[in-house]
C-alpha cells in the first residue's frame, strides 16, 4: 500500500497468513470458488482494475463469512481495504482495516503477525487521511509487535521504523524520529546494497545490439528466498528478458532475514538497463559487434534501428511544424513537450544520447518553455533527466528531477509523467546509494495510477 542497475523497494507487506482452526469449513465447491475468486482478484488488482478486483474480493469475503474461518475473513477485509486504498477511497479502506483488526484480535488462536499487519494497514490509512493523532497509538502497538515478529535486519521492520519515525516527527518528537529513521535507513541500505551486488554479479547480458530496459518484480520470503519472479517491463527480446529473470533466480537467497510467520513476504522491483552503445564489452561499436551475430539477428537489429531512425525523423518534423505554429496554450505546450520526450527516447535506443540531451536542453531555452514552474517546462525537465539516466549520468539528472518534483505545478502533470519523475528520482538516489530515501519516491511512483 501501500541500476547500470536500479531497483525499488515496496513498503507494502503482503502477507500470506497462517490458516486458523475453523470450526465450520467451506464445502469443497465453495473452497474452489474462493480460491478462484481470490486469484482473479489478485490479477485484476495487479493490473489496476480495482473496481473489478473489489467485486471479486467482496464475493470471496461473502463466502468466508458463511463459515467460522476467521482467518479467511481477516484476509479478505485486508485485501478489500488495500483495494479501496489504491482507488483513493480512504473511508471504506479504514472501515475494512478496522473490521480486519477486530476479527483478528477476537480469534481464539490470535496470530500476532496477522494483528501486526492489521495495525500497520490501519495506521497507514489514518496517516493518509491526516489523522496523525489517531494513528499514533495504533502504530505504537504495531511497533511493539514488529519488534517481536521480525529479525532486526528485516526490511519490513525497518520500513515500520522509518514510517513511525516520520509520524512522531510530525507530532513534534524530533529526537525519536531521527533515531528511528537512522535505524531503519541502515537496515534498508544494507539489504538493498547486498541485493544489488548479487543481482549485478549474476546478470549475464545477452548479445543485443540495441539499448533496452527491463523491469522485474518478485516477492522476498524468509531467509532471503524469492518467488513469483515476473517481467513487468519487457525489453522486446525474450532472451534478454530471460537473462534478467535468471539473474534474480541465481542471486537469491539475499540477506538472511527472519520472521515468526514463515509465510511473510514483501514485494520488490528490480530494473535492468542495458546500454549497448556505452557497454565496455562492445568498444568497437555496433558494426564490429554485428559481425559476430547471425544473419537473422543482424537483420532484426538493422530493422529495429531503421524503425527508430524513421520514428525520430518523423518526430523532428512534427516538432518543427508545432514550433512554427507558435504554441501558447498549456495543452499545446504539453503535447510539444511529450513529442520532445518521444524523440529523446527514440534517439537513446539508437545510442544517440548526446543528440537527445542537446535537443532537450535547447528546447528548455526556447521562449515557450522559459517560464519556470510551468507544467510543460517541468515535463520537459523530466524528459531531459530521463535521457541523462539512459546515458548513465545520475549526477545531471538529479537536480532536474528535484526541481521538477518540488514545483507547485507538478501536481498538474499527467499521472504517467509524475510516475516517471518519482521513479527516475528514486533511481538517481539509488545510484548514489541513498536507498532508504529512494524508497520513498519508489513508493510514490507505485501509488500513482498510470
Considering the domain architecture, whether residues 148 and 245 belong to the same structural domain is answered as no
Q: What is the pLDDT of residue 11?
A: 31
In a domain, 418, yes or no: no
The DSSP call for residue 26 is: P
In a domain, 264, yes or no: yes
Compute the distance between CA of residue 365 and CA of residue 379 in angstroms, rounded to an integer: 14
Structural domain ending residue among the three candidates 191, 207, 235? 191
Q: What is the pLDDT of residue 310?
A: 92
The rounded average pLDDT for each run of 10 residues, N- to C-terminus, in the chain (450 residues) is 36 32 70 93 87 94 91 94 91 95 91 92 94 96 94 90 92 92 87 88 76 84 90 84 93 87 78 62 39 54 81 93 89 92 86 88 90 84 88 84 88 87 84 73 72
Burial class, 272, CB count within 10 angstroms (exposed 0-12 / middle 13-18 / buried 19+):
buried
Q: What is the pLDDT of residue 8?
A: 41
In a domain, 269, yes or no: yes
In sequence order, the β-bridge partners of residue 111 are none
Q: What is the pLDDT of residue 373?
A: 67
Q: What is the pLDDT of residue 210?
A: 64
Considering the domain architecture, whether residues 365 and 338 belong to the same structural domain is answered as yes
- The closest alpha carbon to 213, from 427, 432, 436, belongs to 427
Query: What's the domain count of the chain?
Result: 3
Considering the domain architecture, whether residues 115 and 139 belong to the same structural domain is answered as yes
Range of the domain at 31: 14-191
pTM of the full structure: 0.66
The DSSP call for residue 235 is: -
Considering the domain architecture, whether residues 155 and 44 belong to the same structural domain is answered as yes
In a domain, 163, yes or no: yes
Amino acid at each position: 500500500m501501500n541500476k547500470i542497475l536500479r531497483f525499488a523497494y515496496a513498503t507494502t507487506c503482503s502477507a500470506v497468513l497462517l490458516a486458523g482452526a475453523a470450526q465450520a469449513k467451506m464445502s469443497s465447491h465453495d473452497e474452489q470458488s474462493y480460491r478462484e475468486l481470490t486469484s482473479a482478484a489478485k490479477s485484476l488488482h495487479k493490473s489496476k482494475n480495482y473496481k473489478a478486483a473489489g467485486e471479486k474480493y467482496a464475493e470471496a469475503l461473502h463466502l468466508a463469512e458463511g463459515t467460522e474461518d476467521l482467518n479467511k475473513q481477516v484476509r479478505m477485509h485486508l485485501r478489500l481495504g488495500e483495494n479501496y486504498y489504491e482507488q483513493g477511497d480512504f473511508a471504506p479502506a479504514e472501515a475494512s482495516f478496522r473490521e480486519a483488526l477486530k476479527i483478528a484480535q477476537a480469534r481464539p488462536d490470535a496470530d500476532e503477525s496477522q494483528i501486526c499487519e492489521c495495525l500497520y494497514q490501519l495506521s497507514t490509512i489514518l496517516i493518509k487521511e491526516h489523522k496523525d493523532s489517531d494513528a499514533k497509538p495504533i502504530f505504537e502497538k504495531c511497533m511493539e509487535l514488529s519488534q517481536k515478529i521480525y529479525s532486526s535486519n528485516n526490511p519490513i521492520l525497518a520500513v515500520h521504523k522509518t514510517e513511525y519515525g516520520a509520524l512522531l516527527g510530525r507530532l513534534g518528537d524530533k529526537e525519536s524520529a531521527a533515531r528511528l529513521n537512522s535505524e531503519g535507513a541502515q537496515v534498508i541500505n544494507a539489504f538493498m546494497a547486498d541485493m544489488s551486488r548479487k543481482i549485478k554479479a549474476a546478470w549475464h547480458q545477452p548479445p543485443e545490439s540495441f539499448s533496452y530496459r527491463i523491469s522485474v518484480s518478485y516477492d522476498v520470503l524468509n531467509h532471503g528466498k524469492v518467488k513469483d519472479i515476473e517481467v513487468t517491463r519487457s525489453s522486446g527480446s525474450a532472451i534478454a528478458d530471460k537473462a534478467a529473470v535468471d539473474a534474480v533466480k541465481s542471486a537469491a537467497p539475499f540477506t538472511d532475514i527472519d520472521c515468526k510467520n514463515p509465510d511473510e513476504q514483501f514485494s520488490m522491483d528490480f530494473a535492468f538497463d542495458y546500454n549497448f552503445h556505452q557497454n565496455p564489452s562492445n568498444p568497437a561499436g555496433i558494426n564490429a559487434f554485428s559481425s559476430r551475430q547471425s544473419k537473422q539477428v543482424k537483420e532484426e537489429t538493422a530493422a529495429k534501428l531503421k524503425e527508430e531512425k524513421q520514428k525520430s525523423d518523423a518526430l523532428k518534423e512534427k516538432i518543427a511544424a508545432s514550433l512554427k505554429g507558435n504554441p501558447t496554450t498549456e495543452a499545446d505546450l504539453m503535447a510539444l513537450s511529450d513529442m520532445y520526450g518521444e524523440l529523446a527516447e527514440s534517439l537513446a535506443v539508437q545510442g544517440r544520447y548526446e543528440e537527445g540531451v542537446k535537443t532537450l536542453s535547447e528546447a528548455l531555452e526556447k521562449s515557450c518553455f522559459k517560464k519556470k514552474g510551468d507544467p510543460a517546462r517541468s515535463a520537459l525537465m523530466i524528459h531531459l533527466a530521463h535521457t541523462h539516466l539512459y546515458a548513465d549520468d545520475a549526477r545531471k539528472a538529479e537536480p532536474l528531477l528535484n526541481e521538477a518534483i518540488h514545483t507547485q505545478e507538478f501536481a498538474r502533470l499527467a499521472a504517467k509523467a509524475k510516475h516517471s519523475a518519482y521513479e527516475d528520482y528514486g533511481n538517481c538516489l539509488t545510484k548514489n546509494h541513498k536507498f532508504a530515501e529512494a524508497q520513498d519516491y519508489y513508493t510514490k511512483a507505485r501509488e500513482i495510477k498510470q
